[in-house]
Amino acid sequence: MSTKIKRGAAAWAFVGMLFLAWSGVVFGVNAAERDRAKEARAHAQKIEHFYQVVDGEISGSESGPANKLARDLKALPADQLEEFRGDSNRYGGIAGELGFDPFDGINCSECGPLDQEVIENVQTVKDGGLEQVLEGIESGIPTPNEAPRPPTFMWLLWLFSLPIAAGVVYLQKQRSEEDRYRGFPEERRLLAQLREAKGELPPGNKEWLALDQLADRLQEQIDMRVSYKKSKTQEMKLDALTQEASSALEDIAAGNKALD
């Protein structure tokens, strides 16, 4: 594997780790946001239930301080809401059940006069505005503010970037090799044929070894001619090796024909 591909693979893996880390963090943040919104909705549903009992839309016959207060407020005339006083003995635990204390006691909790917002909402319900109150409660439910995940196109770009880059490097290498050996097309063709013929023989036998050595010598001479300007003697040596390779291939072809 070339150095460029190795470096590209390392960078590719690093980016993949960043994407996975990003996705993991986003998953945790979004899960927390959904849980927060779920809790807010559950809290809102309890308050909505409270005002629905006040309206008489549902009976609220179940036990609990919130249902008890809602039934009491349903039966209470609207003009007495300001004078109504809660008692912690009767409504103890209502803050935990509703999620807030509906009373505005100065020196006590879950007792005293009704909170002003509760008075206004109960008055609206008694005037036939239950839906208005419920809509106000719904509008206060936060929507999950989810963080963005890595876009799909980024995952696809990352996924295919390594093979594409490897392909580009391979093509560049092939093109560079073609340019390097441009002056030796016949020798390169013979070299490829030698290796192909070697691949059809059992590894290690006499003919296989002879072809392997001949291919190595021919490649060495080609590389020497490419890298340096050689003497006439060395040019003749390459010509001799080329002739030897051609003869070896002809002998193999003749042997195969005789077997047929």
pLDDT value, residue 211: 72
pLDDT value, residue 146: 66
214 and 101 in a common domain? no
Question: Measuring CA to CA, which residue among 250, 248, 226, 249 is closest to residue 238?
Answer: 226
In this structure, what token pair is assigned to residue 94? 């209502």
187 and 135 in a common domain? no
105 CB burial (10 A radius; 0-12, 13-18, 19+): middle
- Residue 75: inside a domain, yes or no? yes
All residue ranges of the chain with pLDDT < 50 are 1, 231-233
Instruction: Report pTM.
Output: 0.49
- Residue 205: inside a domain, yes or no? yes
Q: How many domains does the chain have?
A: 2
pLDDT value, residue 232: 42
24 and 82 in a common domain? yes
pLDDT value, residue 80: 93
pLDDT value, residue 49: 93
The domain boundary residue, chosen from 107, 139, 171:
139
pLDDT value, residue 239: 64
Domain carrying residue 252: 181-259
- Residue 150: inside a domain, yes or no? no
- Residue 107: inside a domain, yes or no? yes
- Residue 228: inside a domain, yes or no? yes
pLDDT value, residue 11: 75
128 and 7 in a common domain? yes
pLDDT value, residue 39: 84
The domain boundary residue, chosen from 108, 139, 170:
139
- Residue 10: inside a domain, yes or no? yes
Q: Which residues of 174-191 are buried (b: 16+ CB within 10 A; e: fewer)?
A: eeeeeeebeebeebbebb
pLDDT value, residue 260: 54
